[in-house]
Amino acid sequence: MTGWVLLGIMVVVVAGIVIWMIAIYNKLVGLKFRVGQAWSDVDVQLKRRYDLVPNLVETVKGYASHEKKTLEEVTKARSMAMQVTEPGQKKGEAENFLSSTLKSLFAISESYPDLKANQNFLDLQSTLSKLEEDIQLSRRYYNAVVRDMNIMTEAFPSNLIAGRFGFKRVEYFLLPSESERDVVKVKF
């Protein structure tokens, strides 16, 4: 009788461990898919911004054609940002470069009252502002999911399951340096 009780306890313990392993594995799989979905959300917002930039450049070009250098920088920054497709520091750097060139484009508008009053320009500026908010929200969500994934891949004992099945840390989508977090000051 004692042998059967001991066997029963061992079966329950083994079954508990197996169930725990399955639960951890399923949570890791779920987080992996949430990371992918969150990045896809960020990517959609970034593509919307990429699509808006040429319209913005063309509108400014009509009023400020001698600001060619700034317009070329915006176009170059857009192209660079579109080329980096994977999340991480390189994507953050490319996006920050695009954001800074867009700020200089809007700074130009201060020198052109007709441009500032142009309804198309105002609509584009408003749309871009809304897109920047959406990008910020998408980045936050992505980074929150990445944080959860990274905790699961590194915290004991879930790291045992993560390592065994090839789950790895994921890079955050962050601003690359402290100086780029500062508010840009435009002076005329």
pLDDT by residue (tens digit) across 106-149?
Answer: 887 777 777 777 788 888 888 888 998 999 999 999 999 999 99
Q: How many CA atoms lie within 13 A of 74 on its CB side?
A: 26
Burial 109-120, CB ≥16 within 10 A → b, else e: beeeeebeebee
What gap in Å lies between CA 73 and CA 57, rounded to an integer? 10
Residue 173, SS3 per DSSP: coil
**Closest of 140, 153, 169, 145 to residue 35, by C-alpha:** 145
Largest Cα–Cα separation, the chain: 95
In the chain, the domains with their CATH numbers are: 30-181 (1.20.1440.20)
Q: State pTM to two decimals.
A: 0.76
Higher-pLDDT residue of 185, 40: 40
Instruction: Write out pLDDT tens, residues 3-28.
Output: 888 999 999 999 999 999 999 999 99
Q: Is-contact 115 60, C-beta < 8 A?
A: yes
Is the pLDDT at 182 greater than 50? The verdict is no
Q: Is-contact 121 60, C-beta < 8 A?
A: yes
Residues 6 or more apart in contact with residue 125 via CB below 8 angstroms = 56, 106, 109
